[in-house]
Amino acid sequence: MGPPHTPWKALVGAAVLALLALLAAPGAVTAAPAPRESAPVYSYANAIRETVWVNTGLDGDGDGRPDRVAADIIRPAEPARQGRRVPVIMDASPYYSCCGRGNESQKKTYDAQGRPVQFPLFYDNYFVPRGYATVLVDLAGTNRSDGCIDVGGRSDVQSARAVVDWLNGRARGYTARSGGKPVTADWSNGNTGMIGKSWDATIANGVAATGVPGLKTIVPIAGISSWYDYYFAQGAALYDGGPDGLAAAVESPAAHKNCAAVQRKLVEGAPRNGDWTDLWTERDYVRHADKVRASVFLVHGMQDLNVRTKHFGQWWDALARHGVQRKIWLSQTGHVDPFDYRRADWVRTLHQWFDHYLMGYDNGIERAPMADVERAPDTWATDARWPAAGTAAVPLYPRTGTTAGVGVLNNRPAPSGQSAVFTDDPALGEADWAAAVDRATPAKAGFTTGPLTAPLRLSGAGTVTVTATPSTTSAHLSAVLVDLGPDTIRNYGADGEGIVTRTNSTCWGAGTTGDTGCFKETAADVSKVGFTVFSRGWADLGHATDPQHGHPLTPGKPYTLTLQLAASDHVVPAGHRLALIVGGTDANLIDPPASRPTLTLDLARTTARLPVTGGAPALARATAGTPAADRPTGTVLKGIAPPADPRRLPNGD
């Protein structure tokens, strides 16, 4: 049989023990522990500041020359002198000259030779001394770049992708906008992380969806994942204009002069009828989530009514299906950067994230809890995964109550023949409906549970399926979930969308006279309320039979439609009630239909399926108390109305 065999693992284990014993012997020299984070050891004042114009390979403005985009760069000088390469943090934006970035609307500035002086935000001040290069890219057709802005299309995405390619030696860069000498990124190690808020975040999503090599991570803050869903919700128009209006707001004078053909395509490809076109297919990044190779640190405000929360929900779910490494922060704010509501924790966490994915530090960030969710102003909870573990879709059913026009919501379907009727009033919206949920009013159908006997957490996205009969040839529907009960929340309807800006400043990183790295402090802007709307969905009933193409309705004919509720994460406390409200036009959040219909809901064919953490047992525990029909009616509640214009510049896109 031969001699006994010693397993190889035992040999390795013995060798390790022997080595440890040797290192522990008196006088032994032990190796220093590996560093866990980059340190500010490089000079910011003496950093290299330059601009490279990168060839995109496109000719959007039709001048017969390939478009070049301006990539402004600040990088530490010392690593290059030592023959070492550095990673890149990149923010590609259309806003660097027209509107500015951040809470203080900072713009890029340059010296007399055209070299960068001020970079908006803190990324350069904080990360350049720690061994990173910061690269800010002007999207094609903006600031100092050639070409045309095309609002999330090929030109926008290629503007940034070309720079990632140049950083990895696959694209050509030059010292000037036209002519100039070729220049290579011989100082870059190729590892690139993209970051940005709003349109900038959207470009990060779009570039990641191309699968470009070298893009190691993205940090999209309030980013769009599909441009159709920025302008429409299941056929219902969210705004009274299209992407051509955004292009006109940000394009450079040269682009405004030379890009009429691109503007025309934006108008023709985005009709205001809510139909899906090829233009939207090109700008749907979710369908290419399978190509994403970068990790994703996603940040969104759960009351963001500009880039609404459907964007992060569908993007997150698609990334999860394809196994993308990811992390998420969800705040109670509107369209706000985390630097302005959780500053110190944000800088620390972002530092760890970039150190791990761009520098390779083993700091454990990828093993940390996946989700941080703001439960109350400045009060956060963590979850190992998101949506929360144990969450399942659970049905709830609206029924008529003992008071006419005041319905109940429970786990028993309505009997055949029950209905609710409302008439679209474009002057009213979710705040008006919720304030009068305990009264019969003509513009909404409201249904509530009794006071909950246990907290009820809803984590993720739900649906509401309705069967509605219209009285006219057009109709829009809105469905909202409401937490009925007193609370103190961020005032997302105010100008700061949940924050107020102080006069004092603090500094984050190194600075110079032209770029101090100091920013005004912020604080939570809070309001006491009697209800909180926490999830919303909108749709055009004319798209019920064909989601991609609307059709005139037949008055008196029932239509069945499933409204997609936007993703959220909310805990309805014990003692509060959960409400489902169905109405027509949600004022300031969708545009009204061509007519003013009366709609009859068939309650026996109307169901909400909600993402309840703990599933049906948790819902049963929470709703085991007093039936909603036994409560006093007629109370008027106070809440927060949405902003009159959720899509406002400079930081709105």
Catalytic residues: 198, 304, 335
Q: Report the alpha-carbon distance of residue 19 to residue 377 in Å, rounded.
A: 52
CA distances from 482 to 458, 479, 533 (A): 11, 10, 4
Q: Report the alpha-carbon distance of residue 183 to residue 186 in Å, rounded.
A: 9
Q: In one letter, which amino acid is 268?
A: E
CA distances from 538 to 185, 256, 395 (A): 47, 34, 19
Dihedral sign, Cα of residue 298, residue 189, residue 135, residue 520: positive
* Three-state DSSP class for residue 468: strand
* Three-state DSSP class for residue 550: coil
Q: Report the alpha-carbon distance of residue 600 to residue 427 in Å, rounded.
A: 20
The 10 Å Cβ neighbour count of residue 300 is: 29
Give the phi and the psi of residue 572 in degrees, each rounded to 5: -85, 115
Q: Report the alpha-carbon distance of residue 495 to residue 488 in Å, rounded.
A: 18
DSSP 35-93: P-S----S-STT-EEEEEEEE-S--TT-SSS--EEEEEEEE-HHHHHTT--EEEEEEEE
Give, as one character, the DSSP assignment of residue 101: B
Question: Half-sphere exposure (CA, 13 Å, Cβ side) for 546?
Answer: 9
Q: In one letter, which amino acid is 271?
A: P
Q: In one letter, which amino acid is 64?
A: G
Q: Could you tell me the two tokens for 325?
A: 């490494």
Q: Are strands 499-507 and 406-410 parallel, antiparallel or unpaired?
A: unpaired
Give the phi and the psi of residue 297 in degrees, each rounded to 5: -110, 100
Distance of CA 610 to the CA centre of its chain: 21
Dihedral sign, Cα of residue 26, residue 27, residue 31, residue 36: positive
Q: Report the alpha-carbon distance of residue 143 to residue 141 in Å, rounded.
A: 7
